[in-house]
């Protein structure tokens, strides 16, 4: 792009005062053989504003779930809260009809790794741990985050896996830096999980997000430090490791084709933050 032309991102600034430095730096890394994001993965200021509004609604939905979740309610009741709060604020639950997913939210309990389907017959019981994964479309822009909830008094085993998963995501976030790599996040997460005797699911991971539900890159949480895509200001993606008590292996429900279970029936926990890489750090948009 010509240095004095208006920048492609729509900021209204000249290219030389806007994305030129970033793209020269990317070019330098690309020449060393590194994986750099395509321009379309760098969100523009206008897109960032829209996506932040979507993310704010996503957080509000999770907060509403947090207020109401307790022993005795069904996962279908969680689905109803998510649908009602999202739509009453002008949003659409992103999971609903996504590749045939039948509900507005994923609810994954105990040995369920992810993609559990809300069900009126699945009643939360004291001692359960549950991941509620909320994803929102607002004005065509996507956001995604999930939390773990402990239902009443839970076992020490359950307590520990939820705590360590929180620590993993926070350590992953702390390792995320502009001009670092996705593998830095993975390494921080995987190291902490292993130190606690846990494993990290390998074949399901995070993703770019914002203009679509699932964009490039695929985000692994088992790759080495310094590997994978360069982290460039403007990128958005999720940090959402699935941590298993035992084996990282899993199987998918044969009846519904969605729910993922641990192969050894061990507990699994997941927490998801959606982040934006900025020039001086990483901003959490929804968690
Ligand atoms: N929120 C999940 C993710 O992080 C979405 C699963 S797709 C669905 O990728 F259809 F199950 F919702
Ligand atoms: Co996600």
Query: Nearest ligand to the C-alpha of residue 114?
Result: 1
Determine the residue of 55, 101, 107 to mutate for testing ligand 1's pocket, defined as the one with the most ligand atoms within 8 A of the Cβ atom. 101
DSSP string spanning 122-190?
Answer: -B--TT-EEEEEEEEEETTEEEEEEEEEE-SS--HHHHHHHHHHHHHHHHHHHH--TTSBHHHHHHHHH
Q: How far apart are CA 166 and CA 272, in angstroms?
A: 9
Relative to the CA of 207, which ligand 1 atom is closest?
A: 9
By the 8 A CB rule, do 239 and 205 touch? no
Which pLDDT belongs to residue 104? Answer: 99
pLDDT tens-digit map of 18-58: 999 999 999 999 999 999 999 999 999 999 999 999 999 99
130 contacts 86 by C-beta, under 8 angstroms? no
Structure tokens belonging to residue 116: 């559990």
> What burial letters (b/e) apply to 42-53, b meaning 16+ CB within 10 Å?
bbeeebbebbbb
Structure confidence at residue 88 as a pLDDT band (50, 70, 90): very high
pLDDT digits (tens, 9 = 90+) for 57-69: 999 999 999 999 9
Instruction: Give the residues surrounding ligand 1 with Cβ less than 6 Å away.
Output: 95, 98-99, 101, 106, 115, 133, 135, 144, 238, 240, 272
The residues facing 149 across adjacent strands are 130
Ligand 1 pocket test, candidate residues 135, 237, 253, 286, most atoms within 8 A of CB: 135
First to last CA, the chain: 36
Ligand with minimal distance to 94 CA: 1
CB 39 within 8 A of CB 47: no
Burial of 232 (0-12, 13-18, 19+ CB in 10 A): buried
Q: Which ligand ends up closest to the CA of 131?
A: 1
pLDDT tens-digit profile of 214-239?
A: 999 999 999 999 999 999 999 999 99
Work out the pLDDT band at 82, boundaries 50, 70, 90: very high
pLDDT digits (tens, 9 = 90+) for 125-135: 999 999 999 99
């Amino acid at each position: 792009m010509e240095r004095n032309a208006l920048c492609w991102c729509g900021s209204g600034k000249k290219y030389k005062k806007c994305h030129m430095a970033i793209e020269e730096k990317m070019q330098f890394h690309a020449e060393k053989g590194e994986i750099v994001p395509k321009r379309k993965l760098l969100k523009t200021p206008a897109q960032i504003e829209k996506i932040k509004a979507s993310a704010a609604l996503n957080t509000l939905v999770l907060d509403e779930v947090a207020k109401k979740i307790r022993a005795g309610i069904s996962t279908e009741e969680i689905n109803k809260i998510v649908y009602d709060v999202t739509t009453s604020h002008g949003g659409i639950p992103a999971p609903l009809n996504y590749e045939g997913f039948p509900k507005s939210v994923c609810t994954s309990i105990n040995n369920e790794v992810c993609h559990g389907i809300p069900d009126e017959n699945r009643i939360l019981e004291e001692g359960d741990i549950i991941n509620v994964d909320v994803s929102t479309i607002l004005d065509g822009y996507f956001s995604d985050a999930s939390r773990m909830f402990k239902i009443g008094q839970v076992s020490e085993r359950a307590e520990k896996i939820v705590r360590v998963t929180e620590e993993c995501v926070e350590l992953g976030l702390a390792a995320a830096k502009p001009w670092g790599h996705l593998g830095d996040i993975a390494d921080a997460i995987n190291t902490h999980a292993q130190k606690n005797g846990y494993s990290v699911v390998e074949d399901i991971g995070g993703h770019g997000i914002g203009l679509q539900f699932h964009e490039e890159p695929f985000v692994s949480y088992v790759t080495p430090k310094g590997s994978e895509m360069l982290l460039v200001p403007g990128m958005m993606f999720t940090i959402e490791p699935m941590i298993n008590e035992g084996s990282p292996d899993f199987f998918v429900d044969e009846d519904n084709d969605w729910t993922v279970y641990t192969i050894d029936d061990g507990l699994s926990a997941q927490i998801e933050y959606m982040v934006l890489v900025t020039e001086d750090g990483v901003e959490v948009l929804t968690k």
